[in-house]
A and B are shown apart, each in its own frame.
Chain A
């Protein structure tokens, strides 16, 4: 398997007026060809900042401090802006939570897809328009011939997300980054969109990086999982491994507080407190103030992300080191 994305030891800080926000620290992540990988965590854990780092769509006060992001032989941390324009929408497609923000309200959706095609393939107008129609059909829009001429406000939320996906995959990217793609949608529409993304992954061989807070979507659609907490990856494992034998106390807590429609939880398994501010993260392990299994080294020493157990899971926890 060759990787389409390989992030090694990435640290990205935001230099704000209030101080340094440690948004992403020592993050390593890999996505192989055609694979569906999840990056999960709660609000503010740095998962979206990771995605924006890959696309280099960061605010001007963002600074890469170390590490590399390798895509198609290039390091995106140092790539010139010209090269990034070919990567964005070409090699990597991206879809976001709120499609309306990313669609131009004044232009027909067909034009918006064709624009992406012309930009990345150099196709002529007629050819690009034909490909736009084809892209709408690919995302299962029934009357694509008419929808091509619609404006975004004429479409429902689910249809807009389909249009955004059509733009993202129009140039056959090798990686599709989906940042909370269904959070704003109703549950039956969410199911349609997730099925569509999964089908496109198989049809086009596009790898998917799914960024989400919803463990249910991860369980159903992804083969590997990275769990993020306070700017760091705390656990990296296969999907069955992580759901059956979660090792990091944070992963365990997340799973226990995830309610399920197919069974009754008597106890909502609360972890106290809230995630730390990344302006001044706690010393030592960042989870230690909330951890039910905190012990001697946790408040002072930062645990490394190390291999744990027989499988290929990687865990950032002193408990695992103690077991070795």
Chain B
């Protein structure tokens, strides 16, 4: 806990759904339900999971777009909930966000210059006279050159990849300590995605940024992030160093995600043996009792339906599963079957 830059402790974010005209009172959506995470200085942490698992809600809570229902966010040793307005302003400057859709997240009526100059003005990063020089420096840093030519242009004059570079320039303008990237490369084609990931990696190293990289794409995580947290229905089910989690996953959901991730190699892709998850993710307004994954888990036992498992250390990672050894059993069986055939 000592060298953590940012700590999230037992965070809960519940949305009140104001039931429609015809529904008589409804349950709150438990988007995030007791998540604890730790981000070290300079660390690239991946937050993975499928739609509705709460990963974007965590991002929105960290940048102050959503209020937490319960739990604490600790930044540099201090509880964000107790910050004075001045400290809060400072915290917001330090945590910046890059969104998925570079079309929706830029104001179409603002030029590139005014988009990037805005955080510089608000947080008084540079004197007024140096604004233009600073914006040009930022554009060059994100690989948009000749920067002078871009200053007066509007978002519609750029491609998706270029827009994402503008969003990154805006995010690093206030000299943040933490960047939160929410599906920042998901809308991009592979050749453009590679360019943006290269930029992202270069900037985090040069500027000594810590980053929470939110994605559903495990192949990006493997090559970009040193640690990973896997979420399912508002909770972290497994976390640890990326290499460990990917090579020796302990939670059956992590295994299912890895199994379902496409691999661009015909021999490897076709020789994988594993299982397909059946059905859909249950509603976060009414999550299953016990382990939330038990309704889709192929190795569930009666205990899983009643007792929620806590995160515990298993084989170098932390996983919330009562029966991680269930996997080793089934693997032994399938290896034995293979040997017989």
Give the residues in chain A near B194, CB-CB below 8 Å. Answer: 257, 268-271
Residue among B218, B260, B270 with most chain A CB within 10 A: B260
**Interface residue total, chain A, C-beta cutoff 8 A:** 44
With A158-B280, A159-B280, A220-B269 as known contacts, state yes or no: A190 contacts B193, CB within 8 Å.
Answer: no
Which of the residues A192, A216, A217 comes within 8 Å of B277, measured between beta carbons? A192
Q: CB within 8 Å of A: which of B264-290?
A: 264-270, 276-278, 280-281
Cβ contacts under 8 Å, B222 to chain A: 259-264
Instruction: Assign chain B's interface to a size class.
Output: 35 or more
| Docked-complex contact B266 and A219, CB < 8 angstroms | yes
Question: CB distance B159 to A274 under 8 Å?
Answer: yes
* A191 with B195: CB separation less than 8 A: no
Q: Are A220 and B277 in contact (CB under 8 A)?
A: no
CB distance from B274 to the nearest CB of A (A): 10
CA distance A217 to B262 in the complex (A): 6
A214 within 8 A of B: yes
Q: Are the CB atoms of B256 and A220 closer together than 8 Å?
A: no
In the complex, chain A residues whose CB is within 8 Å of the CB of B280: 156, 158-159, 189
Q: How far is the CA of A219 from the CA of B265 in the complex (A)?
A: 5
Residues of A within 8 A of B263 (CB): 216, 219-220, 260-262
Closest-CB distance, B115 to chain A (whole angstroms) = 21
Known A191-B260, A195-B276, A254-B190; 11 more pairs at CB < 8 Å: A156-B280, A187-B216, A187-B218, A191-B276, A219-B265, A243-B266, A258-B264, A260-B219, A260-B263, A261-B218, A264-B223
- Interchain Cβ contacts under 8 Å between A and B, 27 examples: A187-B260, A188-B276, A191-B259, A216-B262, A217-B262, A219-B263, A219-B264, A219-B268, A219-B269, A219-B270, A243-B264, A254-B190, A255-B264, A257-B193, A257-B194, A259-B217, A259-B219, A259-B220, A260-B222, A261-B218, A261-B222, A261-B258, A261-B263, A270-B191, A270-B194, A274-B192, A275-B189
Q: Footprint of B on A, CB under 8 Å?
A: 42-43, 156, 158-159, 186-192, 195, 213-220, 239-240, 243, 253-255, 257-266, 268-272, 274-275
